[in-house]
A = this chain, B = another copy of it.
Amino acid sequence: MKKIATFGEIMLRLAPEGYNRLFQNDRLVSTFGGGEANVAVSLAGFGLDSKFISKVPYGEIGQAAINSLRYFGVDTTDIVRGGDRLGIYFVEKGASQRPSVCIYDRKNSAIATADKQDFCWQEILSDVGWLHFTGITPALGDNVYDICLDAASVAKSMGVGVSCDLNFRSKLWSREKANKCMSELCRYVDVCIANEEDAYDVFGIKAADTDIVGGKLDGKGYEGVAKQLAEKFDFKMVAITLRSSISASDNDWSAMLYTDGKFYHTKHYHLHIVDRVGGGDSFGAGLIYGIMTGKNPQDMLDFAVASSALKHSIEGDFNRVSVQEVQRLASGDSSGRVKR
Q: In the complex, A18 Cα to B275 Cα: how many Å?
A: 12
A309 interface residue, CB < 8 Å from B?
yes
A296 interface residue, CB < 8 Å from B?
no
Q: In the complex, A246 Cα to B333 Cα: how many Å?
A: 10
User: Could you say which of B20, B107, B273, B338 contacts A96, with CB atoms under 8 Å apart?
Assistant: B273
Encode contact with B along A72-85: 1 for CB under 8 Å, 0 otherwise: 11000000000011
Tell whether, in the assembled complex, residue B336 and residue A24 are in contact, meaning their CB atoms are under 8 Å apart. no
Number of interface residues of A (CB under 8 A): 85
Give the chain B neighbours of A209 by CB distance below 8 A: none
Tell whether, in the assembled complex, residue B247 and residue A100 are in contact, meaning their CB atoms are under 8 Å apart. no
Tell whether, in the assembled complex, residue B24 and residue A30 are in contact, meaning their CB atoms are under 8 Å apart. no
Which secondary structure dominates chain A's binding surface?
loop
Q: In the complex, A24 Cα to B97 Cα: how many Å?
A: 28
Would you list which residues of chain A between 227 and 272 have a CB under 8 Å from chain B? Answer: 245-250, 269-272
State the number of copies, please: 6
Least Cβ distance of A151 to chain B in Å? Answer: 25
**Stretch in A1-9, A117-125, A287-295, A312-320 touching the partner:** A312-320
Tell whether, in the assembled complex, residue B100 and residue A19 are in contact, meaning their CB atoms are under 8 Å apart. no
User: Could you say which of B19, B60, B67, B169 contacts A340, with CB atoms under 8 Å apart?
Assistant: B169
Give the chain B neighbours of A72 by CB distance below 8 A: 67, 70
Q: In the complex, A215 Cα to B88 Cα: how many Å?
A: 37
Encode contact with B along A180-212: 1 for CB under 8 Å, 0 otherwise: 000000000000000000000000000000001
Q: Report the 8 A-B pairs with minimum CB-CB distance, sorted nearest first.
A: A248-B336, A102-B340, A245-B335, A23-B64, A98-B313, A95-B313, A96-B272, A249-B272
Show the binding face of A for B, using Cβ within 8 Å: 14, 18-31, 59-61, 64, 67-68, 70-73, 84-85, 88, 90, 92, 94-105, 107-108, 169, 171, 212-215, 245-250, 269-274, 276-277, 306, 309-310, 312-316, 320-321, 325, 329, 332-340
